[in-house]
Amino acid sequence: MPFRHLFVLIALLAALTPLAGAQSGGSDAARTAARFEGMRAKPEALLAFLSDMPKGADLHDHADGAVYAEDMLAWAIADGACYTPATLALIEPCAGGDVPLAYGLGKDPNLSAEIVRALSMQTFASRTESGHDHFFNTFGKFGAVNARHPDRILAAATSDAARSRVQYLELMTAVDIGAARDAAKAVAVAHPFEPANFDADDAALDAAFAKIVPAAIAHARALEAERLAALRCASAQPDRGCLVMVRYIQSVIRVDDPASVFAQTRLAFALANDSRSGFVAINYVAPEDAPVAVRDYVLHMRIIAYFHKKYPRAAIALHAGELTPAFVKPAALADHIRQAIEVAGATRIGHGVDVLGERDAAGLLREMASKHVLVEIALTSNDQILNVRGKAHPLPAYLAAGVPVALVTDDAGVSRSDLTHEFLRATLTYGFTYPQLKTFARNSVAYGFLPRTEKAAMERELERAFTAFEHEQALLQ
Ligand SMILES: [Zn+2]
């Protein structure tokens, strides 16, 4: 009888429903949160917990800065590369005055460790060079190796993200920037850049860009195939990085001259507007406090707004407010974040450290909250580059204002950090609860630049991962 079947089914379901939560007075999530509270005074236990915790996405990760110096040094040795004794920069191909790595490492047992320190913030102590300068100078010291192995850089960044239980990664990289720079130079002869006439500047690039954009999309696709090959994703033993979904953000070098920035921005938008490229957004990189970046900031925001109208599918994330009064004059502190949002149309802000120094900071925070502009918080990077940490950091102010926040790595390799340690630092510094950390992780996926259906799948995956993680944690009690 159907009725009887139904009754049996209900009885069966009731028997199978886990009652553990009811018996212990809480769900797995509540018990996990309680377990987390019990670990506050035990950083080692906290680290193990946070290593296993699903973290969603890393939304602010420079591919070049993500890789550990040891990996780059190993590639350079295998390449037969050299180094410059005065700076410990890795050089490929070797030139006059450089020393072959194999020779130097054979003679000096400390050289390997010294190179790792030169190429990262490992044990950095400011003597003649500031943290800011040492950090940014590392990029020039490993740039030659990275340029030879872009596939390995992306693969290593992806694999490292997977180790931190990141399921979705937006990697900043730069495809064919040289072609955009060359095009800007070539047209400058007949058409000097006119800041007041973007239409003319844009038209002057048309002929060159008819070739540059399809080539850049092809290069981006080829590079992605090489990344997957480097991770052995089609093999029987794929790297853990194959589990991470990756999209790219094209970087524009903001310390170039205006014509170059204009051409680079056009390329970035064209790439991010085309779903075949794997790119979803644009960002501006290089020190925001550099004299050229400060001088041209308003122009840059206008350039971004101009191209966004032409390429509306490309999203905009911007480094803005990665500043303190120690690095720039007060005028530059007044409105970088506001301009990034109101002029350029950025929907995510990288760092935003000087927000409380902006004109009408309270109004700006309200605007970010109401417009759902997420701020990407990189605590270790801000400490190392800007010397801002603890109570001096605006993270609590963002949260109090209801601005969405995600924790990010910025340059994990250079910083000698990873997303797990960013979660640990946030917890130890600000006393966040487990539910707050879950909000950071959920935000990171919700504010990613994936199309709606893919994002929904990512969000479901994160919730499944939380459920499994919390069930394991509840069993450990
Ligand atoms: Zn950054």
The residue behind tokens 């001096």 is: 392
Of 147, 176, 198, the residue at which a domain comes to its end is: 147
Kindly indicate the confidence band of residue 225, based on its pLDDT and cuts at 50, 70 and 90: very high
Do 90 and 214 belong to one domain? no
Task: Please say if the pLDDT value at position 87 is more than 50.
Answer: yes
Higher pLDDT pick, 330 / 308: 308
Please state, in angstroms and rounded to a whole number, the distance separating the CA atoms of residues 345 and 65. Answer: 26
- Cβ atoms within 10 Å of 223's Cβ, excluding its own: 18
**Mean pLDDT of the chain, nearest integer:** 93
- Tens digit of pLDDT for each residue in 232-286? 999 999 999 999 999 999 999 999 999 999 999 999 999 999 999 999 999 999 9
> Which domain CATH number covers 177?
3.20.20.140
**Domain check: are 143 and 207 in the same one?**
no
Mean pLDDT of all residues in 20-34 = 73
* CB atoms inside a 10 Å sphere around CB 435: 12
Q: Give the Å distance between the CA of 64 and the centre of ligand 1.
A: 11
Are 104 and 231 in the same domain? no
Regarding whether 432 and 402 lie in a shared domain, the answer is yes
Q: Where do we find the tokens 């239409």?
A: 199
Residue 386 gets which letter from DSSP?
Answer: I
Share of the chain above pLDDT 70, in %: 95
| Residue 1 scores a pLDDT above 50 | no
Q: Are 312 and 375 in a shared domain?
A: yes
How far is ligand 1, taken at its centre, from the CA of residue 96, in Å? Answer: 34
**pLDDT of the residue at 5:** 52
Least confident of 1-15, 28-42, 244-258, 379-393: 1-15
What is the rounded end-to-end Cα distance, in angstroms, of the chain? 44
pTM here is 0.92
Cβ count within 10 A of residue 368:
23
pLDDT value at residue 476: 87
Query: 350: CA distance to ligand 1 center in Å?
Result: 7
**pLDDT band for position 348 (cuts 50, 70, 90):** very high
Cα 468 to middle of ligand 1, angstroms: 32
**Shared domain check, 242 and 105:** no
- Asked whether residue 49 is domain-assigned, the answer is no
Average pLDDT over residues 133-162: 93
Q: Is the peptide bond before 93 cis (omega within 30 degrees of 0)?
A: yes
- Identify the domain boundary among 147, 180, 206: 147
Distance 59 CA to ligand 1 centre (A): 10
Measured from the Cβ of residue 50, the count of other Cβ atoms closer than 10 Å reads 24
In a shared domain, residues 131 and 174? no
- Within a 10 A sphere around the Cβ of 108, how many other Cβ atoms? 11
* Å from CA of 410 to ligand 1 middle: 5
Q: Determine the distance separating the centroid of ligand 1 and the alpha carbon of 13, expressed in angstroms.
A: 51
Per-residue model confidence as pLDDT tens digits over 410-469? 999 988 999 999 999 999 999 999 999 999 999 999 999 999 999 999 999 999 999 999
- DSSP single-letter state for residue 25: T
- In a domain, residue 22? The reply is no
Task: Give domain status of residue 29, yes or no.
Answer: no
Contacting residues for 373 by C-beta, under 8 A, at least 6 apart: 341, 346, 347, 348, 349, 367, 403, 404
**Are 163 and 133 members of one domain?**
no
- Any domain includes 50: no
Helix (H, G, I), strand (E, B) or coil at 100: strand
- Measured in Å, residue 382 CA sits from the centre of ligand 1 at 10
Residue 42 placed within a domain: no
Structure tokens at 470: 């919390």
Domain count, the chain: 2
Query: Torsions phi, psi of 408, nearest 5?
Result: -135, 165
Domain housing 351: 57-63+149-469
> How many other CB atoms sit within 10 Å of the CB of residue 25?
9
Measure the CA–CA gap between 2 and 253, rounded to whole angstroms.
70
pLDDT in tens, 293-314: 999 999 999 999 999 999 999 9
Distance CA 423, CA 428 (A): 9
Q: Which of 99, 131, 147 is the last residue of a domain?
A: 147
Q: Are residues 294 and 334 in the same domain?
A: yes
3: in domain: no
Q: Which residue has the tokens 């926040």?
A: 405
| Residue 170 located in a structural domain | yes
Same domain, 106 and 248: no
Residue type, 29: A
CA 348 to CA 448: how far, in whole Å? 9
How far is the C-alpha of 182 from the C-alpha of 351, rounded, in Å?
31
pLDDT exceeds cutoff 60 at 106: yes
Q: What is the DSSP letter of 355?
A: G
The reply to whether 107 and 155 lie within a common domain is: no
Same domain as 133, residue 219: no
The reply to whether 2 falls in a domain is no
Q: How far is the CA of 370 from the centre of ligand 1 (A)?
A: 24
